[in-house]
Amino acid sequence: MTGPSIDPAARPSSRLTSKPPSTSGPVPDLLPTLPPYEAGRPAAGRARAVQRRLGPRDLAILATLGRFRLMTGRQLQRLHITDAAPVTAARRARAVLRRLSELRVLTRLDRRVGGVHAGSEGMVYGLSGLGCAVLALEDTAGPRPKPVAQTKPAFQDHVLAVAELYVQLREQHIADAIELITFETEPTCWRSHIGPGGQRLPLKPDAFLVLGVGDFAQLAFIELDCGTESLPTIHRKCGRYLDYWQSGQEQHRHGAFPRVWWLVPDERRRGGISGVLGTLAPDAQALFTAALASEAPSLLTYPPGDPAVSGGQI
């Protein structure tokens, strides 16, 4: 099977600008001098100048944020700074993220995940407008990512949960437990098909993934549920998946229909969604699985049809 598309590891970026000598007490760190504008469009000129100051690892961090929109400092460290002991890796991550923030290619949101004691590792990062412009220079063919503004905690929790699933699967890939072949995020993972009235019907999963597990390829649509949607809404979305399944479009593309995983925060929510799934026809029930989000990285690695996971592929 084809190799996975993963974030590349790269050499450490350059050191931070040193502090100026103190004269009359502590002197705060100075922001690095921003690159001057070049000829042509000012925004593009500045993006090109900043691009020349970034190393491969810096650009890989921008690319990751372009895919997932938001990540914590700890998640970015686990993906991109893996060549050192934990304490050293954490120190390097703080330095890299601080430098990228000072170059204004990253936006640090006014929130810390994990409480005050999480420190900078719990800070939430996204791309700034300048960061998006730099990333667009690296990938002129792909869609241009959008800068991140201050968002509601519920949205952040949902996006970070999807990112955490990817980080954990990526770590299992590195440990040779699985092969992470595909992990598509929104909107790349979205699907659509033609309804009975000729209208185009959208389907918007949170992620689509393909895992190599032994001799099998595990296909999955991911619905990361944070307990904010009503059970009737869950039922309607299951109906959209059934309509898409019956269209045969995905089976034509991949040879099988992906299992739909409802990943939930706790047992109470799993019970509620399992009750919704229990109202579906028996053959439709086999399409879905409700599981705790904390258990998903291990459950997803079971071969298709394994009795440890309820449901099955169709």
In this predicted structure, what is the pLDDT of residue 60?
Answer: 97
This prediction has a pTM of: 0.81
Distance CA 89, CA 105 (A): 21
Helix %, strand %, coil % of the chain (to 5): 40, 20, 40
Give me the residue spans of the domains in the chain: 42-150, 156-299
Task: Give per-residue pLDDT as tens, 1-41.
Answer: 444 444 444 433 333 333 344 434 443 333 444 444 444 44
pLDDT tens-digit series, residues 293-303? 999 999 998 76
**Residue 303, token pair as written in the block:** 């071969």
Mean pLDDT of 76-97: 94
pLDDT at 95: 96
Give the percent of the chain with pLDDT over 70. Answer: 78
- Give the side-chain half-sphere CA count within 13 A for 101: 16
Task: Give yes or no for a cis peptide into 32 (omega within 30° of 0).
Answer: no
Give the residue-averaged pLDDT of 73-96.
94
Range 114-118 average pLDDT: 50
Contacts 24+ apart (CB under 8 A), 3-8: 3/181, 4/173, 4/179, 4/180, 4/181, 4/182, 5/182, 5/183, 6/170, 6/173, 6/180, 7/60, 7/63, 7/64, 7/79, 7/80, 7/170, 8/56, 8/60
Q: What is the C-alpha to C-alpha distance for residues 199 and 201, in angstroms, rounded to an integer?
A: 6
Residue 58: is its pLDDT beyond 70? yes
**The pLDDT of residue 184:** 97
CATH architecture of 156-299: 3-Layer(aba) Sandwich (3.40)
Q: Does position 71 have pLDDT exceeding 60, yes or no?
A: yes
Asked if pLDDT for residue 118 goes beyond 90, the answer is: no
Residue 79 is predicted with a pLDDT of: 97
> Average per-residue pLDDT in the chain?
83
Q: What is the pLDDT of residue 114?
A: 56
What average pLDDT does range 187-200 have in this prediction?
Answer: 92
Tens of pLDDT along 211-242? 998 888 899 999 999 999 999 999 999 999 99
**pLDDT for the residue numbered 26:** 40
Short-list 292, 193, 202, CA closest to 251: 193
Q: Which CATH class is domain 42-150?
A: mainly alpha
What does the pLDDT read at residue 215? Answer: 84
Nearest Cα residue to 59 out of 13, 25, 16: 13
pLDDT at 87 over 50: yes
The pLDDT tens digits of the residues spanning 132-190 come to 999 999 886 667 778 887 778 889 999 999 999 999 999 999 988 899 999 999 999 99
The sheet carrying 216-224 orders its strands as: 179-185, 207-213, 216-224, 259-264, 288-292
